[in-house]
Amino acid sequence: MSASFGADENANIHFVVPDTKEREDECSDDMKRAFQVCEDHSLSPTWITGKDCSSLLPTKADVFVCEEFTGSSFGYLRSFDCISLIGPRCVLDCLAADILIPKSKFPLFTLAMRDLIITTTGFSEPEKTLLAEKIQYMGGIYCPEYHRSVTHVVANHLCRAKYKKAVEKCIPVMREQWVEAVWQASKKRNVHANDEEFHQYKCPVFYKLVVTCSQIPRKQKGALKSNIKKNGIDFVIDFHYFLYRQHMKVSMDRTCFMNRAIYFVDILSVC
């Protein structure tokens, strides 16, 4: 393990006491452990309060370890592009994996999405912004557009060009809950987004699609409904009633109906 954790030999490593706390002994166990790790590697870390941060003019030699990526002190430090902002889990994860802290223009809270290049499809702009932020906080690379280097697609709807390209290239397509699940887990322990425990967040084949059927006996419809729902599909028996309900929703939200793909299953075409 490098004695510098990838930081410059002359780096000034500051552990920031959150705005909501006054002393270092009130910080989380991860902060205390990470501080001790830095001391053990002769990096001469120091504690600094959030209030004191506002009087600093940081340089590229400064590295700040923040317990939380929120608050006024974090916002102030983030306004300086020249510095490194990392979380305590990032320090601990690097130690566990015996790797250097990667250089990044984004704050790094963990490395749970290290080496992943991720794009999204089917989300609103605010939703994409939130997803991109968490992906980057976990060491991943977010790409607005699909390209050949993309490793994962996070999808909200499957009837999109990015989804079709991902399927053609056998690239994993994940639900948005994947990002949140990895984020929450990585704040507590050393994980990676590709770990088996997160495979449950892969998109089912017909995720968020709406299916109805015709010319099928009612008893068979019940069995069909059960199988279809296992694959993430909404099954509609009374399609005319469904259209009426959706028409009422469209009057309140015009995008509600347009983002739903409707499939008809005709027994004659299946036989």
- Look-up: residue for tokens 């306004």? 79
* Ranges 54-58, 228-232, 259-263, most confident: 54-58
Provide the pLDDT confidence category of residue 232 given band limits of 50, 70 and 90.
Answer: low
pLDDT tens digits along 63-114: 999 999 998 999 999 998 878 899 999 998 887 777 777 777 899 999 999 9
d(CA 56, CA 181): 35
Domain boundaries, the chain: 12-97, 117-201, 210-270
- 249: CB partners within 8 A, 6+ apart: 256, 257
Q: Quick one: residue 169, left, alpha or beta (phi over 0 = left, psi -120 to 50 = alpha)?
A: alpha
Give which of 70, 77, 90, 63 is closest to 8, Cα–Cα: 63
Q: If you ran DSSP here, which 8-state letter would residue 123 be given?
A: -
pLDDT tens digits along 115-155: 999 999 999 999 999 999 999 999 999 999 999 999 999 99
Provide the pLDDT confidence category of residue 24 given band limits of 50, 70 and 90.
Answer: very high
CATH fourth-level superfamily of 117-201: BRCT domain (3.40.50.10190)
Residue 175 has pLDDT above 70, yes or no: yes
Give the full edge-to-edge strand order of the sheet including 117-121: 141-142, 117-121, 152-155, 173-174
HSE-CB at 13 with a 13 A cutoff on CA atoms is: 25
pLDDT at 222: 74
User: Same topology for domains 12-97 and 117-201, yes or no?
Assistant: yes
Provide the pLDDT confidence category of residue 53 given band limits of 50, 70 and 90.
Answer: confident
CATH 3.40.50.10190 is right for the domain spanning 12-97: yes
